[in-house]
A = this chain, B = another copy of it.
């Protein structure tokens, strides 16, 4: 016999427990560490987006302090998002914990530090900050790819206090990579493999390397255009890509360290330790081995690509010969590409592709992380 629910619950009202909405706007006090290209782009984005976030999301972002490696600027003005770093402010010697304490010392407000440095010394502070209830958002790869014991201390501090650490910008800059993988895992999917082209610089070099000019000429060209790090070996070594792969592997529950990644550097051993000027002078010593690789690829009808791969617990980074019909053979210029093969995405992978470097898109990743924190703290609609 079917009975009406009214027989069971005659007086049930359509009303959930009231949500804890803040009476006024949610105020986020922000400290930015590292006002370089990414930090500056972030400050500009925050300034431009702040009015809309206040109006539509009831979220008030307040820039409280900025620090570089030697100085910090402390703001005491409530309306600071309209200020500039290089104004009539007082710069003070940087003491990062005092900096953090200044940002966090504002009653009930949410305190967030945006680490836009690439510094291991800053990452060393994360556990302390998170443990003190200060959220951290960052594209700095040092913590998430650094020593495992530190990474565990950071996770424990975050779990204990509830403060969040978000680092979407560490892989693929503004592309949705880290959160996508986390969502797959959190909803019970199982990672079978990750394949990626995780360096825009290396993608550009191998997209262009067709034998019409020596490899060293392409490196010089990329260097002049600002595509490479000041010392191109920082790209060619593959270590930066390996850091990204470590981050993704940990996200998937595989506690790898940098030493666990099989990194095949493009730099011959005899050019590893010389100074940068000598390396640039001797760049053409890369040409013969690279030309041999290209010949080998051509002989099998394939192409050369710099690929990061995580498969069956094994992580590797280096140049590979791929079939001409491989998706990576068609990637465009400096694009990053990440392919997640999972139990659910096993026939065809889940692919995210696009520009994976640059100040604006990296800053946007940090901004997105900041909105995730605000969303977690109860802000409406955003994040």
Taken together as a complex, chains A and B put the C-alpha atoms of A353 and B338 apart, in Å, by 10
Taken together as a complex, chains A and B put the C-alpha atoms of A347 and B355 apart, in Å, by 9
Taken together as a complex, chains A and B put the C-alpha atoms of A14 and B364 apart, in Å, by 28
Q: Which of A80-88, A106-114, A226-234, A288-296 contacts B (4 or more CB under 8 A)?
A: A106-114
Q: Are A102 and B9 in contact (CB under 8 A)?
A: yes
Q: Are A101 and B8 in contact (CB under 8 A)?
A: no
Known contacts A162-B378, A344-B364, A16 near B132 by CB under 8 Å: yes
Taken together as a complex, chains A and B put the C-alpha atoms of A368 and B164 apart, in Å, by 18
Pick from B91, B100, B162: contact of A380, CB under 8 Å: B162
A residues in contact (CB < 8 Å) with B: 2-6, 8-9, 12-21, 45, 48-49, 52-53, 57, 71-72, 74, 90-93, 95, 97-102, 104-105, 107-111, 128-129, 132-134, 158-159, 161-164, 174-176, 179-180, 183-184, 186-189, 327, 330, 332-335, 344-345, 347-355, 360-361, 364, 367-368, 371-372, 375-378, 380-383
Q: Are B101 and A9 in contact (CB under 8 A)?
A: yes
| Chain B min CB distance to A343 (Å) | 9
Residue of B nearest to A109 (CB): B17
Taken together as a complex, chains A and B put the C-alpha atoms of A327 and B2 apart, in Å, by 55
| Chain B min CB distance to A185 (Å) | 9
Determine which residue in A6, A158, A355, A376 has the highest number of CB atoms from chain B within 10 A of its CB, and name it. A376
